[in-house]
Amino acid sequence: MTKSFEEIPLTPISDTPSTVNLTGLWRAFRPIVDKAKCKKCTICWKFCPDVAIVLVDGVPEIDLNYCKGCGICSFECPSKCIVMVKEGTE
Amino acid sequence: MRKVMTGNYASAYGAKLARAEVIAAYPITPQTSIVEKLADFVSTGELKAKFIPVESEHSAMAACIAAQTAGARTYTATSSHGLTLMHEVLMWASGARLPIVMTNVSRAMAPPWSVWVDHMDSVAQRDTGWLEFFCQSNQEVLDTIIMAYKVCESKGVMLPAMIIEDAFILSHTSEPVDLPDQDMVDAFLPAYAPELKIEVGKARGFGSLVRPDQYMEFRYKAMLAMREAHDRFLRVEKEFKQVFGREHGGLLELYRCDDAEFVLIAAGSVAGTAKDVVDSLKAKGFPVGLARLRAFRPFPHEEIRALAGKVAGIAVLDRSYTFGAAGAMFTEVKASAYSGQKKPVIKDYIAGLGGRDITPKTIERIFEDIQIATKRGEETEVEWVDVAGLPRRWH
């Protein structure tokens, strides 16, 4: 609902953090991690532009609430243990 | 207390008297001595402020934005390429409704490389949502900084302001300047107390995303604020005069325009020269006057319209040029005047670019030309003045 100019503040101010937006809903491709092949190099964690990778004992866990499926982790992984699959196919 | 000082020191004293709490700046000719002086004030403890030396003008403005959002009164100063590097963040400052005050020492844009006066840098920022004040004297520089904080921090305005000094002509020329008492400035300009600011322990996002269904209402509010700034400035200057005993003529200073048929509109230091020319031409019986464009934003539309209704010809002196159109002050003057009942002949005179002197003789020729154009009808809308290679009339 559009608010009247008289009801809004001088500049938009949000009192909720932007993490309320589950950007993982935008995803078309999902990263699947083969944990057995992971060498724990943490390169995927360093490259993830959305901080959507959490390391558990050095092995990546994807936070699917925020992973947009860009595929950078899969591209950078030296041991090729992250593959991108189309959402809804697996 | 009266002291002899440059326009740059007048800026520094203005920021000091206004008790700026955070100063973030990057040096550039001819602004440098403003921030050097302020750094001195901070290092000796004369001014209790945080001085942040940054790596660029973009960062200087970004630091001011952050400090102002945290509730501090901020000040910075720049010039030409420094100002244009700030362009993006100037928009952020006004959109975030932060009443930052900045001095711009107006200097030509390169190439050709130049460090001398020209208004291109300031004029190019006209759509950023900043108030823009052109000054004629060093005293006016100091006084306008103090007034600008009061105008900009008022509840109905909350917009940033740019105080413009002409490079070298004001920035490096010494004049007597009256320094008001700190107690009087403190009484005139209370501490900055914004309604909204960043607070520890209260997480909020400032300047967050707004969808098309709500964006225009924010812009509408900024438009109202700029309109309010016009009236507020006149009230603040009236109050300033009551306290400090001087004023500088509102948004459009009318100098001997009462019985004038031909009026020159000009901004900045050249207005001082033009006033002398008006005096000498008036003494010879010519019905001329000067209207000094003190505020470029908010633009004094109503004042111009009222003036246009009373005169036969208006000459606008632009110290910059908008390529593909004309001088920006001319197009705005003409737009304001054209909505009035009476439409005088209005011509644009491009002069003094890159620090070229605008002499009394040049201004006399402009007055002569506007009188001829008014009688004969205008042949040329925009004249380039004192350009080598042009016909003798203009060279």
pLDDT at B128 over 80: yes
Tell me which chain A residues have a C-beta less than 8 angstroms from the C-beta of B218: 5, 8, 11-12
Say which residues have a Cβ less than 8 Å from residue A76's Cβ, sequence separation at least 6: A43, A44, A47
> Quick one: closest CA in A to B210, which residue?
A12
Sign of CA dihedral B351, B380, B260, B267: negative
Cβ-defined contact of A10 to B204 (cutoff 8 Å): no
CA distances from B225 to A20, B59, B86, B158, B206 (A): 33, 26, 22, 7, 19
| Burial of B357 from C-beta contacts in 10 A (0-12 / 13-18 / 19+) | middle
Give me the mean pLDDT over the B6-23 stretch.
98
B196 confidence band (pLDDT: 50, 70, 90): confident
Sign of CA dihedral A63, A66, A69, A70: negative
Q: What Rg value do the Cα atoms of chain B yield, rounded?
A: 21
The string of pLDDT tens digits covering residues B50-61 is 999 999 999 999
Q: Write down the ipTM of this complex.
A: 0.87
Tell me which chain B residues have a C-beta less than 8 angstroms from the C-beta of A14: 204-205, 208
The string of pLDDT tens digits covering residues B316-363 is 999 999 999 999 999 999 999 988 888 899 999 999 999 999 999 999
The pLDDT assigned to B222 comes to: 98
> Quick one: closest CA in A to B198, which residue?
A13
The string of pLDDT tens digits covering residues A51-89 is 999 999 999 999 999 999 999 999 999 999 999 999 988
Pairing state between β B131-134 and B295-297? antiparallel
Cβ-defined contact of A13 to B196 (cutoff 8 Å): yes
B205 confidence band (pLDDT: 50, 70, 90): confident
pLDDT at B391 over 90: no
Tell me which chain A residues have a C-beta less than 8 angstroms from the C-beta of B196: 9-11, 13
CATH number of B252-394: 3.40.50.920
CB B270 within 8 A of CB B298: no
CA distance B245 to B260: 28
pLDDT at B158 over 80: yes
Name the CA dihedral angle for A21, A24, A27, A31, rounded to a multiple of 10 degrees: 160
A14 near B CB under 8 A: yes
Q: B214, B226, B228: which to substitute to probe chain A, counting the most A Cβ within 10 Å? A: B214
Q: Which two tokens stand for residue B394?
A: 């203009």
Nearest to B208 among A1, A3, A13 (CB): A13
pLDDT at B395 over 70: no
Nearest to B208 among A1, A5, A12 (CB): A12
| Burial of B27 from C-beta contacts in 10 A (0-12 / 13-18 / 19+) | middle
- Closest-CA distance of chain B to residue A10, Å: 7
pLDDT at B393 over 80: no
Q: Class of A35-86 per CATH?
A: alpha beta
Cβ-defined contact of A14 to B204 (cutoff 8 Å): yes
Calculate the CA B128 to chain-centre distance: 13
Give me the residue label for tokens 């009230």.
Answer: B235
Question: Which three-class secondary structure state does DSSP give residue B28?
Answer: coil
Q: Which two tokens stand for residue B91?
A: 């928009």
- Closest-CA distance of chain A to residue B211, Å: 10
Cβ-defined contact of B196 to A10 (cutoff 8 Å): yes
The string of pLDDT tens digits covering residues A12-65 is 998 888 888 899 999 999 999 999 999 999 999 999 999 999 999 999 999 999
Tell me which chain A residues have a C-beta less than 8 angstroms from the C-beta of B158: 10
CA distance B299 to B8: 25
CATH number of B2-244: 3.40.50.970
E strands along chain B, which residues?
A: 2-5, 22-25, 50-53, 74-79, 101-106, 131-134, 161-166, 175-178, 205-206, 252-255, 262-266, 288-293, 295-297, 313-318, 345-350, 382-384
CA distance A73 to B131: 48
Tell me which chain B residues have a C-beta less than 8 angstroms from the C-beta of A8: 214, 217-218, 221
The string of pLDDT tens digits covering residues B102-119 is 999 999 999 999 999 999
Q: What are phi and psi of B331, to 5 degrees?
A: -65, -35
Closest to B103 (Cα-Cα) out of B199, B44, B37, B182: B37
Q: Which two tokens stand for residue B260?
A: 């004038």
Q: B94, B217, B223, B224: which to substitute to probe chain A, counting the most A Cβ within 10 Å? A: B217
Q: Where in chain B is the domain with CATH 3.40.50.970?
A: 2-244
Q: What are phi and psi of B326, to 5 degrees?
A: -160, -170
Cβ-defined contact of A8 to B205 (cutoff 8 Å): no
* Reported pTM: 0.92
Nearest to B218 among A11, A15, A18 (CB): A11
Q: Give the single-character DSSP code of B50.
A: E
A3 near B CB under 8 A: yes
CA distance A29 to B22: 48
CA distance B77 to B23: 9
Tell me which chain B residues have a C-beta less than 8 angstroms from the C-beta of A11: 95-97, 196, 206-207, 218
Give me the mean pLDDT over the B26-43 stretch.
98
Domain segments of chain A: what residues? 35-86
| Max intra-chain CA distance, chain B | 71
> Quick one: closest CA in B to A4, which residue?
B217
Other C-beta atoms lying within 10 Å of the C-beta of residue B64: 30
Say which residues have a Cβ less than 8 Å from residue B164's Cβ, sequence separation at least 6: B103, B104, B105, B106, B119, B122, B132, B133, B134, B135, B268
> How long, in residues, is chain B?
395
The string of pLDDT tens digits covering residues B223-260 is 999 999 999 999 999 999 999 999 999 999 999 999 99
The pLDDT assigned to B340 comes to: 81
Q: Long-range CB contacts (< 8 A, 24+ apart) of B36-42?
A: B37/B8, B37/B9, B37/B12, B37/B13, B38/B12, B38/B75, B41/B12, B41/B16
pLDDT at A90 over 70: no
H or E segment at B81? helix B80-85
